[in-house]
Amino acid sequence: MALVDVTETDFEREVIDRSRSTPVVVDFWASWCGPCRQLGPLLEQAAAAREGQVVLAKVDTDANPRLAQTFQIRGIPAVKAFLDGRVVDEFVGVKSRDEVESFFDGLSPSEADVLVARGGEDDLRRALELEPGRADASVALARTLIARGERDQALALLDPIHGSFQADGLLARLRLEQDGLLGDAFAALDRAELQRALDLLLEAITVENGRRDDIRQVIIGELDLLGAEHPLAGETRRRLASVLY
């Protein structure tokens, strides 16, 4: 659904919750507003052209004054883009067709985004052709290569990546494996035995004193993959801190 009329009753569901999976552009408008009637069709055409990749929500400010107050609407048309439950971009007033298209383009997933979300090996390779050095694609493909034993190829993918906990963790894993260390822990990771793998890694920090930083990076990388909400994340971070400090 590319277009939906939203009220105070369903704004949370139709905009905030929906934006956690799909960008939502909210058009605050009113029937008496001439500029709103001018901008509205451009917004609707832009949303329709993206075939559900961006949803347009229409909010009549006269019928929904509390929403207008909550989002501090001082003039209309006012357009706000929501992603992950929060406003990520906005503008007020009439824009040209090109400006509207550019606004939507900033929210629509790129071809590489779509390929990474699919996650197949061919998809990831194509994503890296489109955006060389893209961290999420490089990390995902490197994991596939490591599972196949193609460590040199994984190293070549990961080595140029900076600012990624997961890339740093995989590079540390490759270094440790090259030295014949922590095979049981990595085998447990590959079998998705997360608790056992993390236990073995944490134990190893107190034994392999010369490789503490590599082991730490492996753990941090795996926690980043799990996400902060995973049940193991908070406990493991506390245990890691107690071992290190």
Whether 112 sits among the annotated catalytic residues: the reply is no
> 201 and 182 in contact (C-beta within 8 Å)?
yes
The verdict on whether 206 is a catalytic residue reads no
Select which of 33, 92, 130, 194 is catalytic: 33
Side chain identity at residue 74, one-letter code: R
Catalytic residue among 36, 154, 171, 219: 36
Which residues are catalytically annotated?
Answer: 33, 36
